[in-house]
Chains A and B, each alone.
Chain A
Amino acid sequence: MNRSHTLGRIAQGLPGIGTFLGLWEVLPRLGLFNQEYLPPFTRVVIALWAIIINGTLLTHVAISLERSLGGFVLATVVAVPMGLLLGWYPRVEEFLDPLLQLFRQTSVLALFPVFILVFGLGELSKVFLIFWAVQWPILLNTILGVREVDPLLLKTARSMNVSRLHMLTKVVLPAAFPAMFLGIRLAATYSILVLVAAEMIGAKSGLGYLLFESEQLFKIPTMFASIATMSILGLGLNYGLVAIGNRVNAWKGAVNG
């Protein structure tokens, strides 16, 4: 039933997408936009096909995904336990709150030069950049999630004399999971934005670099092809995460995507 619902939603969306692509194809051809700057849709598809065939796209996508995944895993490993800790001990959170607020407001991209200086121009600085960007939504949402765990659950567990570790892993973690997962989803969208910018500013590979390079070389259809790839990647990531969230959270009712 769920699947047919999803299919229904996709079918309802088709006319919208179709109109958009049609306009994209027709308007430049009619001369309303300069074809050099905004090539019609079909030319972008041809360019996309070309970079798929010769493997360029795959290399760049693989590198981008690797960076983003590395940063993501690192952020989850650091931010989730930290968030559980800070959520569980309000005193500690109160103490650290101003610092957290300050760091959260410090834009990642502003820190990119620092990461380059400290970690060098290689992969490490980019992975760290993603890590930094992604950890704040995860951390803050985890704290929030732990805060809002139903006290009844805690009291029940306590009355059953569970150990501290069990309390954290079996009660608090599952109860805080929806909020945590929301943070992870927010972080995913965010990480793509940051990754693209980082790869445009200082990289020799990755989707952002492909975009930047094709602009410099004035290969405009390729440029649009890489932009489209990024959007598709972002959409896929978002829907993938929603699906995972729904599966893990099945006992609690669906998440709206």
Chain B
Amino acid sequence: MASTTPEQSGTLVQTLSQSRQAWSENSLPALNPLTRLALVVAHSATPIGAQVLMRVRRLASIFLFAAIWEAIPRLAGQFDLFDATFIPPCSTVVKAFVEICLDGTLIKHASISLERASLGFALANVVAIPLGLAIGSFRMVERFCDPILQTFRQTAAMALFPVFIMLFGIGEPSKIILIYWGAQWPILLSTIAGVKAMDPLLIKAAKSMNVSTSQLFRKVMLPAAFPSIFTGMRLAATNSILILIAAEMIGADRGLGYLVYDSQVRYEIPLMYAGIGSLSLLGLAVNYVMTAVEKHISWDRRAKR
């Protein structure tokens, strides 16, 4: 601390604010290493501490919920309020969850579920986005197709599961195609809507520059319709998880949906709740990934969360 730099003449706050400015420009002033370290700690410590505190505060309701979940079954067991076997306390469920994490059961089921969901979802994107761009750009085609699309959208995907089983067998293809089917309608309809809502000036401008049709689709229409397409993709992602679970409950011998169903049938209640919990985590993760991807890709900075 012996070296006298101009910063040290001011108050600590001034020093901090000055060096914070420098910090943000990625060049710390020439201080001795110890002072530098102290400044770095001083800078990062407050935000990190505040961040942790904020996180904890933000998750307060989760902790409260967990505490109630822990307490009520225990109290019910004490005072004979209701049968606590159906709602085991939180800690029992967490224990079951850790167990299936450790012995590999969870990985086995989750990986097959993820595989089905992502294949079906990917297939839906590959088919529905180009199709939607094509349908949306021709008014006549759109009018012609609209009633059929509306009807198909209203046909609950689960209702078609027996049909897909008959057509594609009871193996993986029927499940993947079911998820594809359920996921494609939101994507298709929102792509069409996105193309229809596009600024016609963009297309005219591109045409006047003599772009090819494929370039028009890829470079103009796709980016312009993207925010709308992405809304459909997020809906589709949520949808595909719902359908995945239902399909695995009705006809599968692996997967998270099967895990939940099977543990209910075998009366392993904590395991069942652990399965449900992992499904929620899967849903949260999918939602998180979609949000992150949207933020990353979207060129339209006005796009909302």
A residues engaging B (CB < 8 A)? 10, 12-17, 19-20, 37-38, 94-99, 101-102, 105-114, 116-118, 189, 192-194, 196-197, 200-201, 208, 211-212, 215, 220, 223-224, 226-227, 230-231, 234-235, 238
| B146 in contact with A16 (CB, 8 Å) | yes
Subset of 14 A-B contacts with CB under 8 Å = A16-B146, A16-B147, A20-B148, A38-B163, A106-B280, A110-B279, A117-B86, A193-B157, A194-B242, A197-B158, A201-B246, A201-B250, A215-B166, A235-B151
| A231 in contact with B276 (CB, 8 Å) | no
9 shortest interchain CB distances as A-B pairs: A234-B154, A13-B147, A105-B283, A113-B264, A215-B162, A197-B246, A106-B280, A99-B61, A231-B155
| A200 in contact with B250 (CB, 8 Å) | yes
B156 within 8 A of A: yes
Interface centre among B58, B87, B276 (most CB of A within 10 A): B276
Instruction: Kindly list chain B residues whose C-beta atoms are within 8 Å of the C-beta of A14.
Output: 147
| B58 in contact with A107 (CB, 8 Å) | no
Instruction: Kindly list chain B residues whose C-beta atoms are within 8 Å of the C-beta of A13.
Output: 143-144, 146-147
| A110 in contact with B276 (CB, 8 Å) | yes
Q: How many A-B residue pairs have CB under 8 A?
A: 144
| B155 in contact with A227 (CB, 8 Å) | yes
Instruction: Kindly list chain A residues whose C-beta atoms are within 8 Å of the C-beta of B261.
Output: 113, 201
A19, A110, A212, A224: the one contacting B275 at CB < 8 Å is: A110
| A37 in contact with B166 (CB, 8 Å) | yes
| B87 in contact with A107 (CB, 8 Å) | no
Instruction: Kindly list chain A residues whose C-beta atoms are within 8 Å of the C-beta of B260.
Output: 110, 113
Complex: A168 Cα to B196 Cα, angstroms: 38
Interface residues of chain B: helix, strand, loop or mixed (majority): helix
Give the residue name and chain of the B residue nearest to A116 (CB).
B264
Given A107-B279, A227-B159, 5 other A-B residues pairs in contact with their CB atoms under 8 A: A16-B146, A97-B61, A109-B245, A109-B257, A189-B154
| A238 in contact with B276 (CB, 8 Å) | no
A146 CB to nearest chain B CB (Å)? 18
Instruction: Kindly list chain B residues whose C-beta atoms are within 8 Å of the C-beta of A215.
Output: 162, 165-166
Contact A231/B151 with A102-B280, A193-B242, A201-B246 known, Cβ cut-off 8 Å: yes
Complex: A73 Cα to B175 Cα, angstroms: 33
B residues engaging A (CB < 8 A)? 58-62, 65, 86-87, 143-148, 150-163, 165-167, 241-242, 245-246, 249-250, 257, 260-261, 264, 269, 272-273, 275-276, 279-280, 283-284, 287
B144, B153, B156, B241: the one contacting A15 at CB < 8 Å is: B144
Instruction: Kindly list chain A residues whose C-beta atoms are within 8 Å of the C-beta of B287.
Output: 105
| B272 in contact with A37 (CB, 8 Å) | no
A6 CB to nearest chain B CB (Å)? 13
Complex: A118 Cα to B85 Cα, angstroms: 10
Complex: A114 Cα to B160 Cα, angstroms: 25
| B264 in contact with A16 (CB, 8 Å) | no
| B276 in contact with A114 (CB, 8 Å) | yes
| B246 in contact with A101 (CB, 8 Å) | no
Give the residue name and chain of the A residue nearest to B239 (CB).
A193
Complex: A55 Cα to B230 Cα, angstroms: 44
| A193 in contact with B146 (CB, 8 Å) | no
| A111 in contact with B276 (CB, 8 Å) | yes
Instruction: Kindly list chain A residues whose C-beta atoms are within 8 Å of the C-beta of B162.
Output: 211-212, 215, 223
Contact A17/B148 with A99-B65, A102-B62, A193-B156 known, Cβ cut-off 8 Å: yes
| B143 in contact with A12 (CB, 8 Å) | yes
| B242 in contact with A16 (CB, 8 Å) | no
Contact A98/B86 with A106-B279, A230-B159 known, Cβ cut-off 8 Å: no
B62, B154, B156, B272: the one contacting A98 at CB < 8 Å is: B62
Instruction: Kindly list chain A residues whose C-beta atoms are within 8 Å of the C-beta of B272.
Output: 113-114
Complex: A223 Cα to B161 Cα, angstroms: 11
A194 CB to nearest chain B CB (Å)? 8
Give the residue name and chain of the B residue nearest to A257 (CB).
B150
A177 CB to nearest chain B CB (Å)? 21
